[in-house]
Amino acid sequence: MNILFTCAGRRCYLLKYFKKVIGNSGNIIAADMQLSAPALTAADIKVQVPGVYADNYLDTVLDICKKYDVKVLISLNDLELPILSARKKDFEAIGVNVVVSDPEVIDICFDKYKTAQFIESLGLKTPKTYIDYNEAVDAIRTGVLKFPLILKPRWGSGSIGLEFVDDLEELEMVYKLDKKKVQKSILATASTDEKFLLIQEVIKGAEYGLDIVNDFNKKHRGVSVKQKLSMRAGETDKAITVDNARLREIGSVIGKSLKHIGNLDCDVLERDGEYYVLELNPRFGGGYPFSHEAGVNIPKAIVAWSQGEDVPDSVFVPEYGKMFSKCDILLNVGQ
């Protein structure tokens, strides 16, 4: 049972979770552009690969799978998901379970405008979202859209291009600057439309993270809910697991309708007792360890499913009231 993590980056904890499940029965293989990526220190085998947009990237990953007899492939990078999803059959042909959802699912999640439309189609709430600058300005002038607002790339990753504005003058200046900033970033390759910036209502209130789990057959299996207590660099830094039936219901509706595979990282904001779904990330997110340390074990489920076995739904239920916080550690990443 050899498991490959691509774009491994900083997710040391996730590699360790999977290693604990497979023990000595297999190897954890980590691939990244840089051999100094922190997560590679938690791998049995580390491999350097080209960037995800390189012409030979997928062939390189396929060669790694063949060389090390990889049975499960897990991507940890938003930008890589549509690329892997489109070539999923090539990996399956050599016996690799690619834990990546279908292209149409990736498209809904990756394009934040389509995410907002999808959420509304389910009868759920999401922040007011515009991709046309003039339409947004008209909405502001008629009182439909109110400041503060946030600007963000439609096809984004991390906190690249996130900007807050408080009035029309600031919106005009920041919108032009942010377009140039995104066009100079790695996101320029991901953006496929002239209207690649979102103008979105800011929801102020409690923030939650959901781990929404579907199995390899796209059947919904469970939801773990955490309240985010603090953020750092766009990622959950401190959180507590909570028993919130309404949010579990929202997660269930999304999981059953979206039909993703594996874990879906979902951000939800609360305002005046109403819940607004903000983003869907069809991968392990930075908030997953808060669920795992409270008893959820998605790695165990993924390993079981890849072997044709199953796990009880109790695997996806956390112990409530468990609070955790991340901290920095220093790793020796020398070769």
Q: Which domains does the chain have, with CATH numbers?
A: 2-100 (3.40.50.20), 128-201 (3.30.1490.20), 204-325 (3.30.470.20)
In this structure, what is the dihedral angle of CA atoms 249, 250, 252, 256, given to the nearest 10 degrees? 140
**Separation of alpha carbons 215 and 228, rounded Å:** 26
| pLDDT for position 328 | 86
Q: Are strands 149-153 and 163-165 parallel, antiparallel or unpaired?
A: antiparallel
How many degrees, rounded to 5, is the angle at CA 98 between CA 283 and CA 299? Answer: 55
pLDDT surpasses 80 at 335: no
| pLDDT for position 189 | 75
| pLDDT for position 260 | 98
The torsion angles phi and psi of 230, rounded to 5 degrees, stand at -160, 155
pLDDT surpasses 70 at 240: yes
Q: Identify the band that residue 159 occupies on the pLDDT scale cut at 50, 70 and 90.
A: low
Query: In sequence order, what are the beta bridge partners of 288?
Result: none
| pLDDT for position 233 | 75
Q: Identify the band that residue 158 occupies on the pLDDT scale cut at 50, 70 and 90.
A: low
pLDDT surpasses 80 at 187: no
Amino acid at 316: F
| pLDDT for position 182 | 84
The torsion angles phi and psi of 159, rounded to 5 degrees, stand at -110, 20
The CA distances from residue 204 to 131, 164, 221, 273, in Å, are 21, 13, 30, 12
In tens, the pLDDT along 96-144 reads: 999 999 999 999 999 999 999 999 999 999 999 999 999 999 999 999 9
**Separation of alpha carbons 124 and 104, rounded Å:** 20
% the chain with pLDDT above 70: 98
| pLDDT for position 223 | 98
DSSP H or E stretch at residue 52: none
Q: What residue has token string 């997110």?
A: 285
In tens, the pLDDT along 22-75 reads: 999 999 999 999 999 999 999 999 999 999 999 999 999 999 999 999 999 999
Q: Are strands 70-75 and 274-281 parallel, antiparallel or unpaired?
A: unpaired
